[in-house]
Amino acid sequence: MAYSFLCRILYSSSKTYFVNENSSFNRGYSSGVQRSSSGVKPLVSTYFKFEESCVMLIFMFACTKDSEQVSFGNDSFCKSGRRAPWIKEEDQGDWEKQSPDGWKEHPDSDWKIHNFAGGGVVVADFNGDGREDVYLAKVSTDELFLNQGERQFTLASDWIPQRPQTTLELPTASVGGAAADYDGDGDQDLFLLTVHGPDVLLRNEGDHFTDQTLAVGLSLNEQDSGAAVWADYDLDGDLDLFVGAHLEALFSFAASDDDYAYPEPGPNHLYRNDGDFFTEVDLYIESEHEFTLGAAWLQYEPGELPDLYVVNDFGQYNTPNRLYRQTQEGFEPESSRSGAELGMFGMGLSVGDLNDDLLPDMWISDEKSAKLLLSMGDREWYEASSSLGLDFVLSSQRFGWGGNLVDFENDGDLDAFVGYGPLPGYHLDPEDDPPEQHDSFFLNSKGQFRWKTGDWKLDDGNVSRGAIFADLDHDGLLDLIRPSLVGPAEIMWGDCMGGNWLSIALRDTQSKNLNGIGARVVVEGGEERWTRWVVSGESFASSAPSVAHFGLGSYDGSVTVTVDWVDGHRTQKKISVLNQRKIISR
C-alpha cells in the first residue's frame, strides 16, 4: 500500500536522507510505520544516495513476496460480472447530442485542427443538486451537461452566454478551464481558457452563467491560454487565480530548427481576489519567456505561503519548468538544486503523494514519456520515472498532454494516466507524429508501475489532451471523462472495485474558500496512511470536483481523517463506516 511504495529503490551513495518524525510536516500524525530508535524514518524505505563519480539505481525486489503484473486489486469485483475496467453506456440521455461543430473530422494527410481548443474538461456540481456536472470546452459552442443521476445527462445550453467576438481572423475557441467558488456564495463559478481571444470568467447565478470578466478587472487581451489554477495564495481567506499562457500560432512555424527564434508568448497572470475586484500582481521581477501549459500551488506546511510551480513547453530552448518561491516580498525563482527545473516539452501536471512523506510529488507530461518528481523534503525533488517503470512509451506515442495521478481501482495506491495526441499544426512527418497515439495507463503494482493501456481498453487512438477522473454516479469508483479533438467526449464508467474507499468533501465556514481549495487531507487507519490535496486546475486545461477520493484497499477498520486547512488550522474526525461520501466542516 502507501507505505511500501518505494521500498525497493536504492539510490547509491555516501549520504542517506531521512525524515525526522518530529519534523513540522510529520507532526501530529499517528502512522503505524516502524521508526528507528533514533527517531527518524527513511522516506518510505527509500534511500536517496549520491556518488561523486556516478549514480546507480538498484531495485530491491525483496520488499514484497512477489511483483506479479496485475490488472486489478486482489479483492476486486466487477459489477458487470466480467473483468472489464470500464463500461461504456449506450444511453446517457443528452450526452450523445454533442454537436459535431465542436470538433474536426478524423485526421488525414491534410487535417487541420486547433492544437489546444476543445482539449479540456471541467467537472463540478454547477446546479447544486449534489451531482457532478460536465462542462465541455469546444471549438465552436461550449456544452454543459447536467448530471441527472443513473448515468443520464441533460444538455443545458441556456446556461452558457454567447462567446465574445474578437478582432482576430480566427474565431475564439475554448480550451478548458477551472471551476471554483471565487465569490463565496455557495456555487461553482468557472474560469474559461481560450485561444484567439480573451479568457472569460463566468459567475454562476444558480441557473445560468454571466460573463464577469470586465466587471471584476481581469485581462481582456487576446491570447492563447493553457492553464488555470485557483488557490488562496496570500492566505487571506478567498480564492485567487493564476493563468498560464502559450502561443498556439507557434506550431505553424519550424520550431524544430535549433536556430529558430521563438516569438514572445502571451504573459502569465496572477490575479489577487480583493472581494468584488481582482488585482493583477507582479509575478516576475523580470520578463520570463514561458510557454506555460500547467501549474500548481505547493504548500509544504499548512499556514505557510505556498510556492508556485509552472510547467513550460519548449523548456529546452526557453524557460524550463520553474518553482517560484513566495516570500513576504513576492516571488523569486528557486535554485535549480531543487530538482524541479526540468527543461522539457511540459504539457500537463498532477499532484499526489506517492512516497508518503506528506509532501507533493508531481506527474508531468512531456514529449514521449512523462516525468515523475518525487519529493525529498521541502523544495527538493528527484526525477524517478525510469526507476519506477513510468518511462515506458510506444514508438507511436509522440506528444503527451494531460497527466493524472488517481487510484483507479481503489486498491490503496495512486496510478498514473497520460493522454496522448498528435500535433497537426507542427507539420511533422506522420511517422514522427502518428495521427493515432494511444493514451497511457500505468497501474501501480506494489511499488512498481505496469503499462496497462491495452488491459484497460485505452488503446483506441483517441486524440487526447486533458482528462478528468471523477465519481459521476457515486458508486465509489472513479469514472474517466475524456475529450477528443476529432470526436465527441466520452465517459468511461468505472466498473471494477479493488478495495474499500472514502470520498471527502470540505466545507469551510470560516472563510470564503468554502470548498477548502488547497487543503491537505490525510486518512489514517491501522498502519496505513493516504494523502490527497484538494485542488482546482490540473491535467491539461481541466478541473476535477473539489473532492478528495481515497482508495483504501483491503483495509476495513475505522479511520481518522485529518484536514490541514491552508491557513494552518487542523480538523480531525474519526469515521467508522467506510465506502461513503463524507463532508468535513470547520
Average pLDDT over residues 92-110: 77
Read off φ and ψ for residue 361, nearest 5 degrees.
-100, 155
Give the C-alpha separation, 148 to 153, whole Å. Answer: 5
Average pLDDT over residues 173-201: 95
Grid cell listed for 209 = 452563467
> Is the per-residue pLDDT at 586 higher than 80?
yes
> Is the per-residue pLDDT at 458 higher than 50?
yes
Q: In the chain, where does the domain assigned CATH 2.130.10.130 lie? A: 117-253+267-499
Residue-level pLDDT at 140: 85
440-445 and 448-451 strand pairing: antiparallel
| Confidence grade of residue 255 (pLDDT, cut at 50, 70, 90) | very low
> Is the per-residue pLDDT at 470 higher than 50?
yes
Average pLDDT over residues 99-118: 69
pLDDT digits (tens, 9 = 90+) for 471-488: 999 999 999 999 998 889
| Confidence grade of residue 423 (pLDDT, cut at 50, 70, 90) | confident
Helix (H, G, I), strand (E, B) or coil at 416: strand
Average pLDDT over residues 115-119: 87
Nearest of 408, 578, 424 to residue 501 by alpha carbon? 578
Residue-level pLDDT at 517: 98
Grid cell listed for 372 = 515523475
| Confidence grade of residue 248 (pLDDT, cut at 50, 70, 90) | low
> Is the per-residue pLDDT at 439 higher than 90?
yes
Nearest of 105, 94, 101, 98 to residue 121 by alpha carbon? 98
Q: Which residues are CB-contacts of 23 (< 8 A; sequence separation ≥ 6)?
A: none
| Residue 136 vs residue 29, higher pLDDT | 136
Residue-level pLDDT at 18: 30
- What is the identity of the amino acid at 491? I
Note whether 440 and 453 are within 8 A (CB): yes
> Residue 34, exposed/middle/buried by CB under 10 A (0-12, 13-18, 19+)?
exposed
Residue-level pLDDT at 434: 82
> Is the per-residue pLDDT at 519 higher than 60?
yes
In this structure, the dihedral spanned by the alpha carbons of residues 554, 77, 504 and 580, taken in order and rounded to 10 degrees, is: -100
Residue in the block written with cell 478567498: 238
Q: Which range has the worst mean pLDDT, 6-20, 77-91, 272-286, 434-448?
A: 6-20
pLDDT digits (tens, 9 = 90+) for 533-543: 999 999 999 99
Helix (H, G, I), strand (E, B) or coil at 252: helix
SS3 content of the chain, % helix, strand, coil (to 5): 5, 40, 60
> Residue 316, exposed/middle/buried by CB under 10 A (0-12, 13-18, 19+)?
exposed
Average pLDDT, the chain: 83
pLDDT digits (tens, 9 = 90+) for 264-300: 788 899 999 999 999 999 887 656 778 999 999 999 9
> Residue 583, exposed/middle/buried by CB under 10 A (0-12, 13-18, 19+)?
exposed
| HSE-CB for 212 with a 13 A CA cutoff | 17
Residue-level pLDDT at 80: 57
Residue-level pLDDT at 223: 82
Grid cell listed for 503 = 470520498
> Is the per-residue pLDDT at 25 higher than 60?
no
Helix (H, G, I), strand (E, B) or coil at 362: strand
Nearest of 126, 142, 257, 244 to residue 189 by alpha carbon? 126
> Is the per-residue pLDDT at 43 higher than 50?
no
Residue-level pLDDT at 497: 82
Residue-level pLDDT at 426: 53
Give the C-alpha separation, 438 to 115, whole Å. Answer: 17
pLDDT digits (tens, 9 = 90+) for 338-351: 999 999 999 999 99
Residue-level pLDDT at 558: 98
pLDDT digits (tens, 9 = 90+) for 497-512: 889 999 999 999 999 9
pLDDT digits (tens, 9 = 90+) for 170-183: 678 899 999 999 99
- 117-253+267-499 — its CATH code? 2.130.10.130
Give the C-alpha separation, 456 to 350, whole Å. Answer: 20
Average pLDDT over residues 118-128: 97
57-59 and 9-11 strand pairing: antiparallel
> Is the per-residue pLDDT at 67 higher than 60?
no
User: For domain 501-585, which architecture applies?
Assistant: Sandwich (2.60)
Average pLDDT over residues 318-330: 90
Q: In the chain, where does the domain assigned CATH 2.60.40 lie? A: 501-585
Give the C-alpha separation, 214 to 277, whole Å. Answer: 10
Residue-level pLDDT at 224: 87
| Confidence grade of residue 445 (pLDDT, cut at 50, 70, 90) | confident
Residue-level pLDDT at 39: 31
Residue-level pLDDT at 265: 80
Query: How many CB atoms are closer than 10 A to CB 469?
Result: 26
Residue-level pLDDT at 231: 98
Residue-level pLDDT at 567: 97
Residue-level pLDDT at 583: 98
Note whether 242 and 234 are within 8 A (CB): no
Give the C-alpha separation, 339 to 336, whole Å. Answer: 6
| Confidence grade of residue 431 (pLDDT, cut at 50, 70, 90) | confident
Q: Could you please report the per-residue DSSP string of 72-137?
A: S-TT-EETTSS--SEE--S--BGGGG--GGGSPPPP-TT----SSTT--EEEE-SSSSSS-EEEE-
